[in-house]
Structure 1
């Protein structure tokens, strides 16, 4: 401490240099803040690599058997791999490999590619990696619209112009196209004509594929020049395909146009997008590269947008309907408003208690100085920051040490009033700092100990609250440094040498008199009654805590609704889903609170988000809550409930309400979209379907569970064409000969491509619909034998109908059935507990089948376990530090006694405001405990100091407590009012801060009121007991 005292004296002596350093610190902090990567919403997800394998025409069972399982086998065991999920559905396999946080994307993607190359897959099956983007990487969505061009042309513009333009923006990794018909050159074969010419579709396919080529004949020398020889044989238009020769009969060529027609038509649709009253629009989804800063990337995008729009043909318009910048702006507005109001409240409280403008302003300087210090450390150590956690910083806690210091400086200076010189003033300031320097440093260490364990959180809780812990930790360190070394120097410059006197503060005097009266009464007459009151209050609080309810984290309002609708039966056609989607949009657009509704049916073109055609995902873009009708009272849950009731009138659908980013994050965290997910593991698909149905029936009766939905496993009608190898061998046919005909004739297949400048469009072969749309027509499809004999499929196959798999989900190398639900009108903890109890009682699981809960319930369980460990460790750590200071167990227990009343206050606040206990509230509990113990230490140290010079115990206790009443009340009030705006705010981005703020306000309100009586009383009782024992 001698070194500290020397540094303090040196800073006061060289006051102008100290003030200059303080200014430089603020300027450095401003520079670091401007260059710091601050996200509005943190990326909660670990690195994920998607492996996408498209197998057109293959059933879910075949996709799983031929692609998913072989790939899963090789993808297991990659270093730092944590989880592996997969989905197999018609024509598509998607595997997600989740890695430990912090690994470079390039490394893990390379490791995944190496394992893919080692996997044996069928010919023509080529897995690709999904874009290097995170679950919150979708930062911009738009539609391409025009009154002059048809959707197919707009689709080509999106695919071949817009995607390339957006990828040139720094930070953008990919643009996913969704919706719009893809231009295709379709060769539509007439089965009768094919049969007449004694052909089969395989021959025609091979002829078209072979006839679209280009060659080179090196070069010819002529007239001293080299002429390059080019063989031009590429398709250029419909006519060039029509004139392709398949074979000849008696010297007469048989061309493609002799057996069918060639036309430009849409490719087979796997998805469609509708916007408002338009059923078919073209959408682009812009993805940000993982690790990039959203604010910078969006700024780059906005700067580039005028150039991108200029590339569009005349009459074509790019219309954005989702921009992350709006969310960031609204979040910054909410948090900025809360922070500014918090700082203003802090300054008002300081002035109200001290009634000296100079002292107030000097004490307030610690806020920019501490933040400047914190932002500088953030920049130096390259620590990520986000607005959600930084907005929860309590400037009242940061300024507490400065309040204690400046109050003591002011008190000491007023004792001398007119007798000051500059030298004398500096000596008094030094003496005042020495008196409280130890207490300030010590109390700051205590609060730091409360925030330090927050760094033990992992997963979503860790990514949300680590920046808060770092910000508060760095700011508190900065605050104690600036309070002890800069504020005294600034006081030495700006505090006058004359006319320093404390103004009459009638309110504070009245509070002091009332406090003195009650303190004396409690000390002398009502010690047992007061302690009984404290004990009873704590028991009541613990009882109320059982009725509060719990959740993982409050849902962060994004200003939108993401509505997932399932159309029944799940095997429905895209045409029916388009009609249902239109009806949904018409209902939702009747709400004045809704700006736009965009429906996504099925899957995007690249397969990154695998969905069935019965799946309709709707983005409902909402106006700001302040513009809503009064009937909703800005309550989004009431609006959702009303929408759900109106949509229930549509027959044959189920609904699931969530939010855009939340939906993606939940899927990335748990492997399945849903707030709470029940996973049933097993091997047999039919048994899993049975257990899934039983689970749905049980959960539908649990109070609070809404939006029950599931991924139906069995129910896809199939024509199963089984090759009879014995019959086929009689005709000399191999299995692959028959499979080729089935694949091309019924399902269709791309033979080659037509190049139009830089664009490429598939040439697609298929029989006419009338030749393949029934059981009998499929039986009559011709297969040609090696001898040229035409054989119908019925002669070499057995054709039947059955129900097969619609989607096969896998997790932990096992098949899994998924049931998901939301919770409304009840807390997460008790709802899940009841649901688990009901399932344990009513669901009988076969051997080797098991259930696992995922989603927010899993995250809550993990976080609560850590919180249960962190809280005792925090208290033990504080106890050890207190013992190092006081060297007395008795004094340690007295100093820690405010914990009981503070926790009671936190619980009362949650109960009164009907706020569920969450990780955010738990962190608030810890912070409130730290501030309350700080107040206890300040009071206790003052009482001990007075007791040393005063033989009358009661008099010493009263004098010591009253002397520190103002700084304790001031410190508590600034901490309370600093977070009051966050506790009252309902704006976008405020939800995660609200429980934290409410807990601190409640804890400090009740805790401070009781602490100022509890500490003196316990000191008196323990002192008397010690005296009697001695």
Structure 2
């Protein structure tokens, strides 16, 4: 099949060229990068910073204003939870009952379609039996978005024409503008699921009744309710026709201002009207709020834009920007007393565009530099511009075809998905190197009479099978990633697809386009009979001086361009960058050229000392194993083993500071503490902006109590360009990393009444909360049947965890389940019956007098505002006043509340959490620096359960607990890898066996996997050593240049190893192919065997070194990358670099062992 394909391509060159052009153009049109092409409409792939690895979750939100968490739990949350548990494919249901609302999170299996699950929930809600929920309580389905959908946060500020803050707007005005103008404008943007408001005050018409005046005028609350409702109405009376003209009839009556309410007639007595202002004070004021926004220590008003599920986040944000630009001029403005015009302006404080573009920019730079590195290596090693051009053409076309495949299969471009292409770059050109090299060799050897088409076809088909086998082993090596499930599957499956697409694209391009280009461009070398054969060249040919000069000039131009684009030392070190690139690239190429030059001599010596050499190989493998798992006994200190983690944290450029206040703190106290913390954080020089929130955004996606603080802290980048274009450092000398900034934040925010906050970032936090329900990556879920037992158990576990080794004691915090102060008014039913009152009469009075009751809603154009009735503050501000609230009896008498009820201080829940209908509380904690989450969590669980078993502490009967956190993703991923990895290795072995049809040869080639594996672990171990590359070369800190820092064994690193497995056998497959071809004529003696091995291996060493050099040098820009997202890419690249460096041993191992196998029984 491969032979036929190559034959068809060679005889249909124009068709192949046109197809290649079409694929290239298609790839450019869908590329995820910001490539502006004048006059051309592009359709780029959807992009985001990282994959959404959150749970497949839907939210059911139910509001019941003024009700306590216990009422919400008993009458709303629990009935709904039990009903929703019957939905198909539900994994778990988490709920949270809070003051005034219920939030239920339904988590479905990942295989369930997002919108199918929403339809099933709506069906269930619509089919609830009557009486399941209280009257007038209506559950709603949350936005069709995920927790990562909150892509754009902003504030509304008064600014002058130059963009300077000038104020002039009170929070109530800004909130009205947000609710009734900005929110709906942004809601109309394509791809936006929801725009929610936060901060400021909702305007409210407040009727504070005077009970003394009401008693004097004999007015009841029902009279006021009726009067207010009946004074706020409009009607339509169809039309009338007058003089053949039709008139529409309207009866006006909406309340427009306070005077309309004040003149409302409540009742008439003795023919005299009693108006509302005679029995009440009527003013405009703020409605009760459960959320506050603060910017730099000053209260603010803003909103949150949430992108719809499945939409392109970057496109949504760009659409939002366009809409903001459209409405900016139409937003309200006012002239201040000093004559300054203050225009309401939308000011973003969290815009994911920056993070997305920075991560894409890092990947774009890395891919571009990898391409340049690869091209430079090819030119310098091939020393033929035509061959270099052919080989280099494979790379960009394969990448563009990969983009096209991503678009067609709906794979989003993000840091992980594009990293799949980045780590495959070196492998992509290997096929072209092998094919082009073999074609050139056959052209040089073929007789002049043989047709060139036949020569190219014969050369291509000779290695075509081996090329395909080598690629298939790489693809098979990535099979475990395709079988990953859960969070790790969502994270890395896109990478597996992109890498596979890139490899398949490289095979297609190599087998179709390379032979065609070779037929057109390559020519047989002109042999000089007097030319010496040493020193050895890659294609056994010494070039004439003019050609050498041209090649050298092209290589120099590429190197200079690479240095200017790479800038590993920074943009200000032009000469240094050039020298660095020349030294690094030159050193690597010099090493490989030296290896090629002395290869035969080295191999000849190793063939004489096989046992000693293979013992050294075995030592390298053992060294890799010890670096991974740790050394025994006395070696344990030097080789402790690699730490583990799920995923390297992506540096988002911002922190999410999430402490909690004590449950008893009022919203005013919490807001004051928030302001103090924000001012303290803003004073840190490295901090750019601080916007904090307490309580909740007006959205089902944010069920936060007023005790929860969420502060987004944007810090300055370490380097920035000044006005002169120079790159200057913005951090103080003592600030080396973002962790240092966080440590300062943690120091200045230590205040009485606030807890310690774990170090989190905005996206990271959303993922943590989606996966675990907690605000920390590690914790304990406690289950109980009563709230009191739940709190007792949580506090006991909190105390025990503080003494566990590896746990940061100051970060241990248990939910204060029943820590909220309550005033409970208990009716005396006997006294109520004496006065002819019911419990409902009493509770209605409590609700209106203390909490206030909405009576109607004004209609002011497009705006709507509530009208509420309540007692004035001085009559409900303390317990004594509450006891004297008057309750009207049926005969008109007024009796104080204390005569028919008792008022008591008690403690109750601030919120009631449950999971699958079981009451739940969380005890969160964090690990000590330098320790792995999974190790600390497993150790903590082991210690705590052992302490419980020995009776060191006891828990109430029926209480259970489980340790949970994001580390469970790592455990799950490792379990999956232990199952699938052996299968993948077996398939790789079977592919190799299908190529060679000999078990011994197959095992020999397959051994390259273990050699390369050890190399990857050794390099990771070196990265964890403080002395590794701790040298200064011409003033350059090599540790900083190559981003040398401790690397943990994360799933990302394992993915890097999986990428290495297939590559590790490529050289062995091709080396074995040449050896088998040479041994078709079986040598008769040991000496003849060795000479045959030397001859066959010598043919392969050039392409083998070239493929290794391209793979290693192509990944060097990734290792030196310091942009946003590099912290995710580098751990994936390290195994391949280390593995390929050590895997070079296989170019000796395969011929040495093959020689030993064939020397047996020979003299």
Alpha-carbon offset, residue 261 of structure 1 = 0.5
SS at match of 1:565: coil
Pick which of 639-648 and 901-910 moved more: 639-648
1:503 matched residue in structure 2: 542
2:142 matched residue in structure 1: 130
Q: Does 1:931 align with 2:1024?
A: no
1:310 matched residue in structure 2: 329
2:549 matched residue in structure 1: none
Contact 1:915/1:995 (CA < 8 Å) preserved in 2? yes
SS at match of 1:338: helix
Of 881, 905, 908 in structure 1, the residue corresponding to residue 1015 of structure 2 is 905
2:822 matched residue in structure 1: 718
2:500 matched residue in structure 1: 473
1:670 matched residue in structure 2: 772
Unmatched segments (≥5 aa) in structure 2: 32-41, 159-166, 334-342, 528-539, 544-588, 630-640, 720-728, 949-953, 1024-1045
2:376 matched residue in structure 1: 348
Contact 1:172/1:286 (CA < 8 Å) preserved in 2? yes
2:46 matched residue in structure 1: 38
Alpha-carbon offset, residue 585 of structure 1 = 1.3
1:282 matched residue in structure 2: 301
Contact 1:744/1:765 (CA < 8 Å) preserved in 2? yes
Contact 2:2/2:465 (CA < 8 Å) preserved in 1? no
Contact 1:25/1:372 (CA < 8 Å) preserved in 2? yes
Of 561, 579, 589 in structure 1, the residue corresponding to residue 655 of structure 2 is 561
* CA deviation string 1:760-812 (max 9, x = no partner): 11112211112112222111111112222212222222221100011111112
Alignment of 1:285-684 (within 5 A): 285-314=304-333, 315-393=343-421, 394-415=424-445, 420=448, 424-497=451-524, 499=526, 502-503=541-542, 510-525=594-609, 527-546=610-629, 547-567=641-661, 569-626=662-719, 627-629=729-731, 631=733, 635-648=737-750, 652-684=754-786
Contact 2:237/2:250 (CA < 8 Å) preserved in 1? yes
SS at match of 1:619: strand
1:76 matched residue in structure 2: 85
| TM-score (ref. length: structure 1) | 0.94
* CA deviation string 1:827-869 (max 9, x = no partner): 2222222222232233544443322333311211111111111
- Alignment root-mean-square deviation, CA: 2.5
| TM-score (ref. length: structure 2) | 0.84
Pick which of 53-62 and 917-926 moved more: 53-62
Alpha-carbon offset, residue 226 of structure 1 = 7.0
Alpha-carbon offset, residue 210 of structure 1 = 4.1
2:1115 matched residue in structure 1: 979
Alpha-carbon offset, residue 161 of structure 1 = 0.4
Alpha-carbon offset, residue 195 of structure 1 = 4.2
Of 281, 286, 289 in structure 2, the residue corresponding to residue 266 of structure 1 is 286
Partners of 2:900 and 2:515 in 1: how far apart?
98
Of 956, 967, 971 in structure 1, the residue corresponding to residue 1092 of structure 2 is 956
Alpha-carbon offset, residue 730 of structure 1 = 2.0
* CA deviation string 1:624-651 (max 9, x = no partner): 2334425466522222123212323556
2:1051 matched residue in structure 1: 919
Pick which of 204-213 and 285-294 moved more: 204-213
Pick which of 569-578 and 18-27 moved more: 18-27
Give the number of equivalent residue pairs. 1019
SS at match of 1:269: coil
* CA deviation string 1:930-967 (max 9, x = no partner): 11111211122222222233512222222222221121
- Please state which structure has a larger fraction of its residues in strand: 1
Pick which of 606-615 and 441-450 moved more: 606-615
* CA deviation string 1:533-590 (max 9, x = no partner): 33333333223223211101111121111101212x2210122112211221122112
1:237 matched residue in structure 2: 257
Partners of 1:49 and 1:910 in 2: how far apart?
41
Distance 1:378 1:906, change over 3 A: same
Contact 2:460/2:515 (CA < 8 Å) preserved in 1? yes
Contact 2:93/2:107 (CA < 8 Å) preserved in 1? yes
Partners of 1:687 and 1:709 in 2: how far apart?
17
2:722 matched residue in structure 1: none
Distance 1:1013 1:829, change over 3 A: farther
Unmatched segments (≥5 aa) in structure 1: none
1:730 matched residue in structure 2: 834
1:1015 matched residue in structure 2: 1150
Q: Does 1:970 align with 2:997?
A: no
1:837 matched residue in structure 2: 942
Distance 1:969 1:10, change over 3 A: same
Partners of 1:343 and 1:819 in 2: how far apart?
49
Partners of 2:751 and 2:615 in 1: how far apart?
58
2:898 matched residue in structure 1: 794
Q: Does 1:143 align with 2:155?
A: yes
Contact 2:782/2:920 (CA < 8 Å) preserved in 1? yes
Partners of 1:607 and 1:802 in 2: how far apart?
29
Contact 2:791/2:815 (CA < 8 Å) preserved in 1? no
Distance 1:607 1:874, change over 3 A: closer
2:799 matched residue in structure 1: 697
Alpha-carbon offset, residue 670 of structure 1 = 2.2
SS at match of 1:466: helix
Distance 1:7 1:541, change over 3 A: closer
* CA deviation string 1:908-939 (max 9, x = no partner): 12222220011111111111111111121112
SS at match of 1:654: coil
Contact 2:886/2:895 (CA < 8 Å) preserved in 1? yes
Distance 1:123 1:443, change over 3 A: same
Alpha-carbon offset, residue 179 of structure 1 = 0.3
Partners of 1:660 and 1:922 in 2: how far apart?
26
Alpha-carbon offset, residue 91 of structure 1 = 1.2
Alpha-carbon offset, residue 486 of structure 1 = 1.3
Alpha-carbon offset, residue 885 of structure 1 = 2.4
Contact 1:961/1:1016 (CA < 8 Å) preserved in 2? yes
Distance 1:949 1:35, change over 3 A: farther
Of 72, 85, 89 in structure 2, the residue corresponding to residue 63 of structure 1 is 72
SS at match of 2:656: strand
Alignment of 1:97-112 (within 5 A): 97-101=106-110, 103-112=112-121
Partners of 2:25 and 2:983 in 1: how far apart?
38
Alpha-carbon offset, residue 207 of structure 1 = 3.7
Q: Does 1:118 align with 2:127?
A: yes
Distance 1:846 1:1014, change over 3 A: farther
Alignment of 1:212-231 (within 5 A): 212-215=232-235, 230-231=250-251
Distance 1:218 1:483, change over 3 A: closer
Alpha-carbon offset, residue 65 of structure 1 = 0.7
Partners of 1:877 and 1:633 in 2: how far apart?
50
1:7 matched residue in structure 2: 5
Contact 1:184/1:763 (CA < 8 Å) preserved in 2? yes
